[in-house]
Structure 1
Amino acid sequence: MSINRTAITRRTLLGSAVGLSTAALLAGCAKKGGAASVSDTGILNVGQISDSVAFFPLHVAEQQGFFEANGVKLGERPRLGTGAKLAAALKSGAIDLAAGVTTDAFNLYEVDKTARLTAGLVTEYYVDVVVGNDFAGPAEQAPLNDRVSALVGKKIGITGPGSGTEALLVHLFQQIGKDANKDATLVNLGAATTAAVGALKSKQVDALSFFQPIGQVAAGEGTGKIYISPQRGDVPSLAGVVHGCVFSTTAVLDAKKTMVDGFNKSMDRALQFIRQDKDTTRTLLKSYLQGTPDGVIDSLLALLPEEMSASHAISQAAYDKSKDFHMQTGLAKNPPDFATFVPQASQA
């Protein structure tokens, strides 16, 4: 059956991939065959989906000199917009490490069994459902299923198909016996904050399923409110799940082992720094999320210690919860077991 999804064109950093689905991009990579390419061994190219809160530790490590201190020379740092483009760039050798979400890593593994999960950044599901202030539905304090039922038949903005933003909706709709791809219209908005909040404000969509800080920005400017938030405990089944992550391939891990180890050490220092130095972290967060109002920065600053990983190392409990979530929602057909997918050096 056809998926009820609307595409909204937007400008991206790598425009050649606009409009292609996760499956199409990854299938294209798979058809090329062979091992994933590896870039210049003296440089570590790290891509990320967007400037969402999950990838803030990379900014901290850059600005505080942690990468340099650990012998890591960074090259390209593109923001690629979707997990599919991130995985395609990794497979082609354009980047060495991909900062995305576990959904992206599992999608890549389905077509490339050399994919590996190398670092955990966020251990809460940091995607929120955001609605306009005039949304006709139960209050935010109402039972979860009542709030999800109010989303049936609505136009809901997501970053793109096969994303963690779509995954949350699939999971929530399953709880009430519905199919998000049939019982709502999912609108592909890409990863830009302005596009997402603008679509909600102009009523192109009734709601958003989007990563932080979209909900905080919408609430801060009076455009909307956070309606469902796994991070604040609204979805108990997702508590403690590894979500924001870094993934790569065995080709990169073999060719650039020292630099990948240095990257992970830099993540550990950045994650600790975020917990220990609130004042500097606030300054860095403002430079990372340029133009974000102070009130939004403060609300995010309070959330960071609650959702950021203690270190890059991934526990089996957090991984298994993510694996089960992806299997239950049908977003990953046969995700690998913990020992296979998470290198020993990245296991907690």
Structure 2
Amino acid sequence: MQRRQLITAAAVAATTSLLPALGRAQAIDKPKLTIAVGGKNLFYYLPLTVGEQLGYFKDEGLDVTVVDFAGGSKALQAVVGGSADVVSGAFEHTLNMQLKGQPMRAFVLQGLAPQIVLGINPKTMPNFKSVADLKGKKIGVTAPGSSTNIMANFVLAKAGLKPSDVSFIGVGAGKGAVAAMQAGQIDAVSNLDPVITLLTRSGHLKIVTDTRIVKEAERVFGGPMPAGCLYAPQAFLDKHPGSAQALANAMVRANQWIQHAGPGDIIKTVPESYLLGDRAVYIDGFLAAQKALSPDGLFPEKGAATAYKALSSVNPKMAAFKVDLNAVYTNALVKKALVKYPRKG
């Protein structure tokens, strides 16, 4: 009996001695964080909004401020400039930043596919037949240099066109983009939902390439193309591992919630301004985008290689650059998050 008590006491002591270490591993080293995003209202970033609106960041001990910009390139500039800590943006920016010698790393995925749609304006291009017809035309993108611009470049390149063969105009990711198409100020647009669904339903858009469909995105890019994600300077991840883990935990919960949510749940959760004045259009947009959102936050194994191939096809400097694909993303934080929040059937 005495031996059993000694063994029990030893086990308790050993367990207790581990607690401080476990506490340190989960410590929130920077609870107050700023996340920069370009087009927060887009379904592309729905997990970010869900995490914020449902209090998942607070549950992890974080005080997160989300600052919205006109496009992903502007959000990236905020982090580079030091006014934000983390970007909620397109995965391919991590590759571009490695090329510039400013290492950024993605650590939780939001989108399985880019969800970007390139379409033409039937009002200004009634006789459109192929992408080659876009030569000399004005194409609206969320912001120059953003993922919508990169996607348009890629589709143009496949048709033998260079970025200089067209004029790119920043129109944002909301009512400004809709108004530009309706007024005939642009001949085509590369944008996302709910903008795309609203334009399609009103007859102001003819879809050319639709990467809201995962299989279509893989066909266009030649493999899995990771999209929206949280990424940050490598220095931030090294200095604040606890905060980065907490962000990953919250986003994994948000990803999982979305996969089991119905249209009514989404309408109740997002701000009224996201609906662009039409709930039915927003619901249609959500149903179109839902399967293109990540169910678990994990980056596909071949995703970085696909993104590199796409960027290399339109950027000679990227093609000549010896990129370290393993340095632009990690699944380590998401794997830990999935232990805390296991996948639901």
- Shorter-chain-normalised TM-score: which range? 0.7 to 0.9
1:30-57 deviations in Å (ceiling 9; x for gaps): xxxxxxxxxx933111110112211111
Given the two structures, how large is their TM-score scaled by the length of structure 1?
A: 0.78
Per the alignment, do residues 286 and 42 of structure 1 end up closer, same or farther by CA in structure 2, a change over 3 Å counting? closer
How far 1:286 moved relative to its partner? 5.9
**1:44-123 equivalences in 2 (<5 Å):** 44-51=33-40, 52-74=42-64, 76-123=65-112
**1:17-56 equivalences in 2 (<5 Å):** 41-51=30-40, 52-56=42-46
CA contact (8 A) 1:72 1:262 kept: yes
Counterpart among 319, 325, 339 of residue 338 in structure 1? 325
Counterpart among 308, 313, 330 of residue 328 in structure 1? 313
In 1, Cα distance between the equivalents of 2:182 and 2:316? 30
AA aligned to 2:86 is: L
Per the alignment, do residues 192 and 230 of structure 1 end up closer, same or farther by CA in structure 2, a change over 3 Å counting? closer
CA contact (8 A) 2:237 2:244 kept: yes
How far 1:291 moved relative to its partner? 3.2
Given the two structures, how large is their TM-score scaled by the length of structure 2?
A: 0.79
CA contact (8 A) 2:174 2:276 kept: no
SS in 2 for 1:98: strand
CA contact (8 A) 1:216 1:226 kept: no
The more displaced of 103-112 and 63-72 is: 103-112
How far 1:331 moved relative to its partner? 7.6
How far 1:97 moved relative to its partner? 0.8
Task: Give unpaired runs (5+ residues) of structure 1.
Answer: 1-39, 139-145
AA aligned to 2:159 is: I
Task: Give unpaired runs (5+ residues) of structure 2.
Answer: 1-28, 336-345
1:153-212 deviations in Å (ceiling 9; x for gaps): 321112233221121222112212221322x222233x2412211111111111111122
Counterpart among 187, 196, 209 of residue 228 in structure 1? 209
What is the root-mean-square deviation of aligned Cα atoms in Å? Answer: 2.4
How far 1:346 moved relative to its partner? 4.6
In 2, Cα distance between the equivalents of 1:88 and 1:196? 22
CA contact (8 A) 1:282 1:301 kept: no
SS in 1 for 2:302: helix
In 2, Cα distance between the equivalents of 1:219 and 1:147? 18
CA contact (8 A) 1:116 1:342 kept: yes
In 2, Cα distance between the equivalents of 1:340 and 1:200? 39
In 2, Cα distance between the equivalents of 1:45 and 1:169? 29
**1:200-215 equivalences in 2 (<5 Å):** 200-215=181-196
> Identity rate of aligned residues, in percent?
19
CA contact (8 A) 1:323 1:335 kept: no
In the other structure, the counterpart of 2:133 is 150
Which protein shows a greater Rg?
Answer: 2
SS in 2 for 1:99: strand
The more displaced of 42-51 and 264-273 is: 42-51
In 2, Cα distance between the equivalents of 1:311 and 1:148? 35
How far 1:315 moved relative to its partner? 2.0
How far 1:124 moved relative to its partner? 0.9
In 2, Cα distance between the equivalents of 1:167 and 1:331? 14
1:275 and 2:250 matched = no
AA aligned to 2:185 is: Q
AA aligned to 1:172 is: V
Q: Which has the higher helix share?
A: 2
The more displaced of 269-278 and 291-300 is: 291-300
SS in 1 for 2:231: strand
In 2, Cα distance between the equivalents of 1:206 and 1:327? 27
How far 1:336 moved relative to its partner? 3.2
SS in 1 for 2:306: helix
In 1, Cα distance between the equivalents of 2:266 and 2:186? 33
Counterpart among 152, 157, 160 of residue 169 in structure 1? 152
How far 1:262 moved relative to its partner? 1.0
In the other structure, the counterpart of 1:237 is 220
Per the alignment, do residues 137 and 291 of structure 1 end up closer, same or farther by CA in structure 2, a change over 3 Å counting? same
**1:244-259 equivalences in 2 (<5 Å):** 244-259=228-243
1:178 and 2:165 matched = no
Alignment size in residue pairs: 299
How far 1:263 moved relative to its partner? 0.9
In 2, Cα distance between the equivalents of 1:118 and 1:288? 29
How far 1:330 moved relative to its partner? 1.1
